[in-house]
Amino acid sequence: MSRAVNVDLHLAATRHQQILTELAARGQVSAMGLAERLGVTHETIRKDLVVLQERGLLRRVHGGAVPVESLAHEAPVAARTAYGPEKLRIAEAARAFLPDEGAVLLDSGTTTLALAQLLPPSEQLMAITNSLPIATTLLPRVGGLTIIGGRVRRETEASVDQWALRSLEAVRVDVAFLGTNAFSLDHGLATPDEAEAAVKSAFVGAARLRVLLADHSKFGRESVFRYATLHDIDVLVTDTGLSADDARAITDAAGVEVVRA
């Protein structure tokens, strides 16, 4: 084997390790960002990701790659600590969509919980949620609070099943702030649990304005149960980890307003 080939293999192995290290730290990598940071072409990174996917070390998605995991994987809500600064920026930007008075729905999730923690006290605001942590947070902040009943899932600390769905049949709110486990251009918004998906779908149908709060690592991912398409969403509030090109693609495909905080 020639010296040049040995050098190329060494450089490729070094890049592969850097890619996997960044993926483990961030939860998602961008092909464009990797090319810039590693000083190689986009085509080189594409080939690297193909090789790593063939070895079962990552899964390629639109614009980059995510860790290999089951579509049914769901971490407990208490363990979801990644992207804390991004989620805080998303929550701050989402406050712009709060009505001065009226009713809002808050879906379960860590980013929607961050929004609840930033809600300015308002006696003119009524809030409805299926999340126990969000309900506890909102109780001293809003004029009226309704918590939706039902079986509480340990993973999300949120109520689901028929009691929750029956309650939502009679609900109409000004704004629903939604969370998701995954969203993509092709598959829409999805979650690993069927009961959770049914409640999220009812949230979407209960609101005049639907605002999705999701950090960039959720984009390009898929999960088992789809509960909405991107066309069902009016606004996506995300962070600048989502590229401007991806934001334009979402707007062009579904007419969604994208806010990158």
* Mean per-residue pLDDT, 157-185: 95
Write the pLDDT tens digit of every residue in 87-97: 999 999 999 99
Tell me: do 237 and 113 sit in the same domain. yes
Please compute Rg for the chain using Cα positions.
Answer: 20
* Beta pairing partners, 166: none
What is the reported pLDDT for 5?
Answer: 47
Same domain assignment for residues 94 and 147:
yes
Confidence (pLDDT) at 11:
81
Give the lowest-confidence range in 48-57, 62-71, 197-206. Answer: 62-71
The CATH number of residue 99's host domain is 3.40.50.1360
Report the 10 Å Cβ neighbour count for 222.
17
* 1: pLDDT strictly greater than 50: no
This prediction has a pTM of 0.75
Task: Tell whether 219 is covered by a domain.
Answer: yes
* Same domain assignment for residues 107 and 126: yes
Are residues 121 and 153 both part of a single domain?
yes
- Same domain, yes or no: 62 and 83: no
For residue 72, is it within any domain? Answer: no
Are residues 127 and 214 located together in one domain of the fold?
yes
Does the structure show a pLDDT above 80 at 77?
no
| Contact assessment for residue 87 and residue 110, using Cβ atoms and an 8 Å cutoff | yes
How would you classify the pairing of strands 173-178 and 207-213?
Answer: parallel
Closest CA to 203 of 104, 101, 96, 76: 104
* 182 and 127 fall within a common domain: yes
Q: pLDDT tens across 149-170, in order?
A: 999 999 899 999 999 999 999 9
Same domain, 121 and 30: no
- Cβ atoms of 91 and 213 within 8 Å: the answer is yes
Q: Which domain holds residue 134?
A: 77-260
Residue-wise pLDDT tens digits, 4-34: 445 566 688 889 989 988 887 777 788 999 9
Domain end call among 13, 32, 66:
66
Does some domain include residue 71? no
CB 209 within 8 A of CB 236: no
Same domain, 88 and 56: no
Tokens for 33, please give them. Answer: 């960002």
Domain containing 62 — which CATH number? 1.10.10.10
